Chain A
Amino acid sequence: DGGITQSPKYLFRKEGQNVTLSCEQNLNHDAMYWYRQDPGQGLRLIYYSQIVNDFQKGDIAEGYSVSREKKESFPLTVTSAQKNPTAFYLCASTVAGGPTYEQYFGPGTRLTVT
């Protein structure tokens, strides 16, 4: 089964702690993305990566960090510097050279920070 997996589905953390969200894909896609979804605000781009060992900031990168050591994996770390980290986080990927509008999304991780 090809697809994108995100784990865990629900994550709870105390304020001040860093937390890492997992994203793995076996679609052989080159580009991967992280979005944050908040009610009434749509999806906002946090970081994206087109190739291994390279990534770019999106529109709301402050307080987040990523790595891309393998093509299949693009973990997101929510740091204590993120002012309002409670949200639904979505990972997506696209194939290089394919339709740029066709992003494949994982099932998401709901992060709650108290």
Chain B
Amino acid sequence: QQQVKQSPQSLIVQKGGIPIINCAYENTAFDYFPWYQQFPGKGPALLIAIRPDVSEKKEGRFTISFNKSAKQFSLHIMDSQPGDSATYFCAAVSTLLNAGGTSYGKLTFGQGTILTVHP
């Protein structure tokens, strides 16, 4: 059961273009929505994250747009560069309690989008 659905699977843009990656979720218990960036042969790294009470968050050239009623969020990359070529994962965090009463976050990832930015 895929709780976070991501599209498209792959995306090709020219340098300077604005790639948009979309994600949709069903579980309303998710309380954080991060995006991770992964270069080939490396582990993912946190790029940007948003809380569900905010509709937009911008960090540099990366912007998350969040639509709580539609249960959708998206990543926009402004003025994309060849160095942005990577796989991007959206994720959703649910906060759970362990047996000892300590809270922890569980990440549920989307399927990933392979972005290629041509020079």
Contact = CB atoms under 8 A, between A and B. Distances in A.
Interface of A: 4, 31, 40-45, 48, 50-51, 54, 56, 90, 92, 94, 96, 99-103, 105-108
Interface of B: 4, 6, 9, 32-34, 41-46, 49, 89, 91, 93, 95, 98, 100, 102-107, 109-112
Contact of B93 (A50, A101, A108): A101
Given A100-B32, A102-B34, A107 B42 contact: yes
B45 A101 contact: no
Contacts of A54: 98
* Most chain B beta-carbon neighbours within 10 Å: one of A92, A94, A105: A105
A31 B44 contact: no
Given A43-B89, A108-B42, A103 B9 contact: no
Nearest to A43: B109
Most chain B CB within 10 A, of A45, A101, A102, is at A101
Given A43-B89, A43-B107, A99-B32, 19 more contacts: A4-B43, A40-B112, A42-B4, A42-B6, A42-B112, A45-B107, A48-B104, A90-B44, A92-B43, A94-B104, A100-B93, A100-B104, A101-B32, A102-B49, A105-B43, A105-B44, A106-B43, A107-B41, A108-B42
